[in-house]
Amino acid sequence: MATVTVLEREIYEVGEAARLLGVHTRTLRNWLDGYTARGKTYRPVLRESATGSDLLTWGEFIEAGFLNEYRRVQRIPLPEIRSYIDAWREKLDVPHPLAHQQPYAGPGRHLMDVAETGEGDTVIYRFHDGQLTLTPWAQEFIRKVEFDHNVASRYWPAGRDQPVVIDPQRSFGAPTVEGIRTEVLYEMFAAGDPMDEIADGYDLERKHIEAAVRYESPRPRRETATSAA
């Protein structure tokens, strides 16, 4: 039997993935399988071809997170991103190039790649001509993703300075704090349990409970005016 890599592992139902990423479920479906609007058919972005599956792999989840940031913050046209993904898919011969090359958006709205120097510094360079430039925003965002041998292995949705982490190999990919699901901690808090008592019960610190509550508290979708195409 062929070995399933971490990027190929099916982890999330599309609705749960959309909730974790803060995107609309319909938008995420469109990115995964494409759609038709006004007589025009748009190809999938995150999959090579439509599968109709409601399950996302870890690689698709990471790519969707990157794609949401591009579209929400940088306002990069989706056709440009689709072309970029297609090019890297062919170049690297992998189904999830965004989870390998860690591309970002920078000055001039050009898509960029992330390369690591021998000293471990992150360098952002323009894909179209190789011109190197540093992007502080990109530096900050990449700290949310942990890479192991150039493959995304963990995701810190609130940043590395917060204890909430999403690991595909722990708790079935659910967000956790020190190995405890944030959902569990939040539900206890919402039921009226004091934070200090929750912390004592799980041998955690109060700051861990606070982080879990902040993460799980009802919040508006981060994606508002972003179009699916």
In whole angstroms, give the CA distance from residue 136 to residue 41: 37
Report how far apart, in Å, the C-alpha atoms of 209 and of each of 13, 35, 78, 220 are.
26, 41, 38, 21
d(CA 171, CA 145): 18
206: phi then psi, degrees, rounded to nearest 5: -55, -35
- What is the separation, in whole angstroms, between the first and last Cα of the chain? 38
Q: What is the distance between the alpha carbons of residues 1 and 131, in angstroms, rounded to a whole number?
A: 44
The H or E element containing residue 165 is: strand 164-166
Return the domain boundaries, the chain: 165-220
Full pLDDT tens readout for the chain, 229 residues: 345 589 999 999 999 999 998 899 999 999 999 999 899 999 999 999 999 999 999 999 999 988 887 776 666 677 777 887 888 788 778 899 888 755 544 555 455 554 444 433 433 334 445 544 434 555 566 778 888 888 899 999 888 899 999 999 999 999 999 999 999 999 999 999 999 999 999 999 999 999 999 999 875 444 433 344 5
Burial call 138-147: b when 16+ CB within 10 Å, e when fewer: beebbebbeb
Query: Is the distance from CB of 147 to CB of 153 less than 8 angstroms?
Result: yes
Residue 185 contacts residue 213 (beta carbons within 8 Å): yes
Question: Position of tokens 């609130």?
Answer: 158
Cβ–Cβ contacts within 10 Å for residue 172, how many?
Answer: 10
**Which one of 1.10.1760, 1.10.10, 3.40.50, 1.10.287 gives the CATH number of domain 165-220?**
1.10.10
216: Cβ contacts below 8 Å, ≥ 6 apart: 175, 182, 183, 185, 186
